[in-house]
Amino acid sequence: MKTKILFIVCLTITSLSMYSQSDSLHAKDVLKSHAKSYEVKSAIEVESLVPMFLTGGYHFAVGYRYERFRVRLSIINGGTYDAETAGVHNSSATFKRYYRTSPGLFLGYNLWRNLELYTYLESHTFDIEQKSTGIHKDIHTIDTGLGLSYQFFIGRYFYIQPGMHVYMRGDKSIAFGDVNYSISNVDLSPVIRLGVRLWSQEK
C-alpha cells in the first residue's frame, strides 16, 4: 500500500513538473511573439475598421512600417453610421451625418512598443440628412487631427487595435431651406481595427 501511495505521489509531482515546464515554454513563446511584433525593422500591414461593415459600409487600410514609423492609406464608407453623434461642437440633434466614400492618409510613430501616436489628413464627403424632412445634401471637408491606439497581437500576424481619434475641421455650413446646418468642428471617435501583418523583416 505504501509503495502504491509513493508511486502516485511521484507520478503527480512528475506530471505537475512537466505541466509547469510546458506552460512556462508556452508563456515564453507568447512573450517572444509579442516582442517580435514591435521589434521588426519593416512590415506591411492591412487592416479594417470592422464596425463600418455592421452599418452597411466598409473600411480598408494598407500600411507600411519602417522602424517606429508607419504610413497608411485608407478608404472609408460609413453606411448608416451617424457620425453627428461624435461631434462635440456645433453638433445638431435635428440632423444626421453619414460618411460617404472618402480617402485618408495617416502618419504614425510608435511611442512605446505597439503604442502608436499618429496624425492624419482625410478628404471626407458627408451626407447630411435633415430628420424632419428627409432631405439629403453633401458637405466636403478636409479633416485632420490626432489618434492614439495600441496593437494587441494574437500570435505574430493578427492584431486588434483599439484607439481614440480627435478630428478637427474648419467652419462649413449648408442651407436646408430656412435652416442652416453647421458641421461640427471637432469629433471624438473611439475606433477598433482588426489587422494582419502580411510581411515583415526582422531587425
Domain range for residue 192?
A: 40-202
Tell me what pLDDT residue 113 has: 92
Give a yes or no: residue 169 inside a domain.
Answer: yes
Give a yes or no: residue 7 inside a domain.
Answer: no
Q: How many domains does the chain have?
A: 1
Tell me what pLDDT residue 98 has: 98
Tell me what pLDDT residue 39 has: 81
Ranges of the chain with pLDDT below 50: 1-25, 27, 30-31
Give a yes or no: residue 15 inside a domain.
Answer: no
CATH of the domain at 133: 2.40.160.20
- Cα 56 to chain centroid distance, Å, stands at 18
Give a yes or no: residue 1 inside a domain.
Answer: no
Residue 195 and residue 64 in contact, taking contact as beta carbons nearer than 8 Å: no
Average pLDDT value over all residues in the chain: 87
Enter the C-alpha cell of residue 146. 490626432
Give a yes or no: residue 10 inside a domain.
Answer: no
Tell me what pLDDT residue 38 has: 72
b/e sequence 87-117, b meaning 16+ C-beta within 10 Å: beeebbeebbbbbbebebebebebeeebebe
Question: Could you give the CA distance from residue 192 to residue 7 in angstroms, rounded to a whole number?
Answer: 53
Give a yes or no: residue 99 inside a domain.
Answer: yes
In total, the chain counts a number of residues equal to: 203
Give a yes or no: residue 141 inside a domain.
Answer: yes
Give a yes or no: residue 135 inside a domain.
Answer: yes
Tell me what pLDDT residue 188 has: 97
